[in-house]
Structure 1
């Protein structure tokens, strides 16, 4: 190799700095330990100076060995791959670390339950032990998956696995503890189950539904309330709204349930559930939000024929949304008054209801001085077919519903009691006064309507789902 170095005079001539006379040549190879050859092992070089003294030429002969560029490139690729693999494993550790925190929290609760059982095994039945055994088995499986995923083990995981195994042994021991007491408990529990079944059968025979049949003289009794659970928002502050079933379901959606609730008397979103179990699990299959300008007001809406019917304001009108086509329709109610609403439900001027005879809306006008009027709705034209005037004064009514063409009105009877006190038959124009108790979970409720597909009343009682079975007088 020959290196040309400008002389001092050349540097002054060009006016630029040049490299120093001493050169340091460094060759570095990653992960390879190379020993530098001592200077004395270099091959003999020579120095030549040009005649004019302007240039110094040095010739240096290095050992004859080719630079391993291919090996360097290979090592660089390996380094990149290893770095990526380390990042992947670190992310796995973070992910499983989070899961482990959750598992440890649940395991702590499980440990407490096992400790309680251990301290008083006589208070538990075989079902409790079976449930515990299932949960412990699930934890054991989760820890095994965690170890397999990490492809390693650790004192923490080993300790966790050992503790789960010990819990299994404890549960097995407790289950065999004092077999005689456990057998007595199981016998008593079986007796209780039989009595409960008998009571259920008696009530079912008393409230045996005859779906679609209106060959009777009206409602004679209502069952005790079935308090389902708190609403899907898990918030008792959402006390305005309602829940129920489609009163005229389309094919394939016979079990569909709906729910919508708000902290103020308004309507702007609602949820649909494929069946009863899904509404208990708070697992909706779709959610509808009403766009701006189409929001509703009040505390009442129903789903009928896969269409939601609700009240809108400014001006006061009936509104509906077809859940299949997503088409909105409106019908202004010019005579309906905004001066009269139900006792428990502010701003509920239009009250929709559906029964075996079709679709209805109840409201009041200034002309009848606050009494409830019943209007039959033509579902195709979304117009009013006929109107009937009742003697039920709306501000004193807790709520109202239609069943087989008869309007039933309730009134407050106390903190936990409502009374169905009045009925009006649209077929005969006959009105009756009665006294059918209706127990409530809490004092106020925002929505009460009848569903002809199961002959039940659905109530939205201060944020809680409730239902009642209805008994008709068959004559």
Structure 2
């Protein structure tokens, strides 16, 4: 024990006396006496221990370690939160696909495999056409025949034994399809002369190439469109888009893919949902120079959404009427088109008695530069598009055949009747657009992505 001697002034109000517990006074640990000068001397006996500095230092280090650990765990929680958002989105997509499977799993699987067979038959037909046209027995064609044959066998095998491997065959199918695309580009007979108008117009179309069933995997999405940016900007040279709906009314959703392969595989897409004030209508929209051009009804106008700046703009077209649409679908009053000469919009007016009016759009001011009045009644046409300043209108021949029956040249102001027939995969379609960046015709054919190679008369 050690002895602590305190010299205190004898005062009832002394805080030092008040600091010592009463029980310690009574236990004998504290004794008091008074010296000759009248001062009170207290003798306090404390345990013989030193101050635990080492333990305090240890506790300080433990405290620092705990604070660091808490920060680490907090950072992990932030990362987990971000991952959770991604996983929840993926889960929603899986739930949507599962709902389709649960509603009619047999039909879904049957539809997918039947679609693959149809596309493989289209491939085989196109390879045969190329081979006959070139009068060639190149090993390249034999290699493609073998690959198509092997893919057909694989489709049948997977459908019979393991339907869960559908995505595997889709991936292989996408590779084969891109290989065929490259084969097409390498052949002089269909090699496009991009940007050139050194021809007298359309000579013929290839057979339809059924690219894919729509990204919603539903036969109900028959209204819509798809395609490729007709004037791609740097860094987005292969931008593809898709939008479709179950009714011809509102247009509000678009899906964008960085390239053709991602479109085929339905992955890595960017979804744009138009806000309520900017919802569109009709299905004759296009993507041009990284902007969506579509019809807006409040007010009735042509509208532009810039994907780069995420800004909206609109222009009311004097004379354009909402009373006239194409034969296959309602509300298609404004039809946007792009060709080698620029950007266009087609519509019908009361002043032109329901016949199509062609208007050239100034891309910088987003205004109308000039207009041409054609002689074709809009409601008699299935759709229309522009190539090198010439408008071509289509109409149905029968359930399997479509026909380009009319053309109007904005340079000469001359119109002529035509009969250029081409096959359809399905009876009706809601979007038909020419793309000058690859000289192909893009059609949204009752829920299917379809393309045609355009052959021009160069004589």
Please state which band the TM-score falls in when normalised by the shorter chain.
0.5 to 0.7
CA distance in 2 between counterparts of 1:211 and 1:330 reads 30
How far apart are residue 22 of structure 1 and its match? 8.4
Tell me if 1:255 matches 2:238: yes
Equivalent position to 1:361, from 326, 331, 345: 345
How far apart are residue 221 of structure 1 and its match? 2.6
- 399-408 or 71-80, which moves further after superposition? 71-80
Tell me if 1:331 matches 2:285: no
**In structure 2, do the counterparts of structure 1 residues 45 and 283 end up closer, same or farther at CA, with 3 Å as the change threshold?**
closer
Tell me if 1:314 matches 2:298: yes
CA distance in 2 between counterparts of 1:330 and 1:83 reads 56
Task: Report SS of the residue matched to 2:55.
Answer: helix
CA distance in 2 between counterparts of 1:202 and 1:259 reads 24
Tell me if 1:220 matches 2:237: no
CA distance in 2 between counterparts of 1:325 and 1:63 reads 77
How far apart are residue 345 of structure 1 and its match? 2.6
Within 5 Å, which residues of 2 pair with 1:362-441? Answer: 362-380=346-364, 382-391=367-376, 393-413=377-397, 417-426=400-409, 427=412, 429-440=414-425
How far apart are residue 307 of structure 1 and its match? 4.0
How many equivalent residue pairs?
A: 348
Tell me if 1:449 matches 2:436: no
Task: Report SS of the residue matched to 2:455.
Answer: strand
- Whether the 8 Å contact between 2:206 and 2:422 is mirrored in structure 1 is no
Q: TM-score, normalised by structure 2?
A: 0.60
Cα shift readout 1:131-188 (whole Å, capped 9, x = no counterpart): xxxxxxxxxxxxxxxxxxxxxxxxxxxxxxxxxxxxxxxxxxxxxxxxxxxxxxxxx9
Which residue does the alignment assign to 2:228?
Answer: 245
Cα shift readout 1:181-204 (whole Å, capped 9, x = no counterpart): xxxxxxx97861499989956994
- Whether the 8 Å contact between 1:352 and 1:361 is mirrored in structure 2 is yes
Within 5 Å, which residues of 2 pair with 1:45-84? Answer: 61-75=45-59, 77-78=61-62, 81=65
Cα shift readout 1:229-279 (whole Å, capped 9, x = no counterpart): 345566665544322223233455443333444455334454554443454
CA distance in 1 between counterparts of 2:237 and 2:324 reads 35
Cα shift readout 1:314-347 (whole Å, capped 9, x = no counterpart): 3422233455566654332332222221233321
- Whether the 8 Å contact between 2:207 and 2:422 is mirrored in structure 1 is no
Task: Pick the structure with greater CA Rg.
Answer: 1
Task: Report SS of the residue matched to 1:216.
Answer: coil
CA distance in 2 between counterparts of 1:364 and 1:46 reads 111
**In structure 2, do the counterparts of structure 1 residues 83 and 414 end up closer, same or farther at CA, with 3 Å as the change threshold?**
farther
CA distance in 2 between counterparts of 1:46 and 1:20 reads 10
Cα shift readout 1:70-97 (whole Å, capped 9, x = no counterpart): 31441464377379759979999xx8xx
- Whether the 8 Å contact between 2:374 and 2:408 is mirrored in structure 1 is no
CA distance in 1 between counterparts of 2:268 and 2:56 reads 58
CA distance in 1 between counterparts of 2:46 and 2:180 reads 105
**In structure 2, do the counterparts of structure 1 residues 20 and 240 end up closer, same or farther at CA, with 3 Å as the change threshold?**
farther
How far apart are residue 421 of structure 1 and its match? 3.7
Task: Report SS of the residue matched to 2:328.
Answer: coil
Tell me if 1:229 matches 2:229: no
Q: TM-score, normalised by structure 1?
A: 0.58
How far apart are residue 455 of structure 1 and its match? 0.8
Within 5 Å, which residues of 2 pair with 1:98-109? Answer: none
- Whether the 8 Å contact between 1:390 and 1:424 is mirrored in structure 2 is no
CA distance in 1 between counterparts of 2:280 and 2:147 reads 46
- Whether the 8 Å contact between 1:316 and 1:334 is mirrored in structure 2 is no
Task: Report SS of the residue matched to 1:70.
Answer: helix
Tell me if 1:192 matches 2:175: no
How far apart are residue 348 of structure 1 and its match? 0.7
Within 5 Å, which residues of 2 pair with 1:80-159? Answer: 81=65
How far apart are residue 351 of structure 1 and its match? 0.6
| Residue segments in structure 1 that go unaligned for 5+ positions in a row | 5-9, 11-17, 26-43, 51-56, 103-187
**In structure 2, do the counterparts of structure 1 residues 461 and 22 end up closer, same or farther at CA, with 3 Å as the change threshold?**
farther
RMSD between aligned residues: 4.7
Which residue does the alignment assign to 1:208?
Answer: 191
Which residue does the alignment assign to 2:443?
Answer: 459
Which residue does the alignment assign to 2:96?
Answer: none
How far apart are residue 454 of structure 1 and its match? 1.0
Task: Report SS of the residue matched to 1:248.
Answer: coil
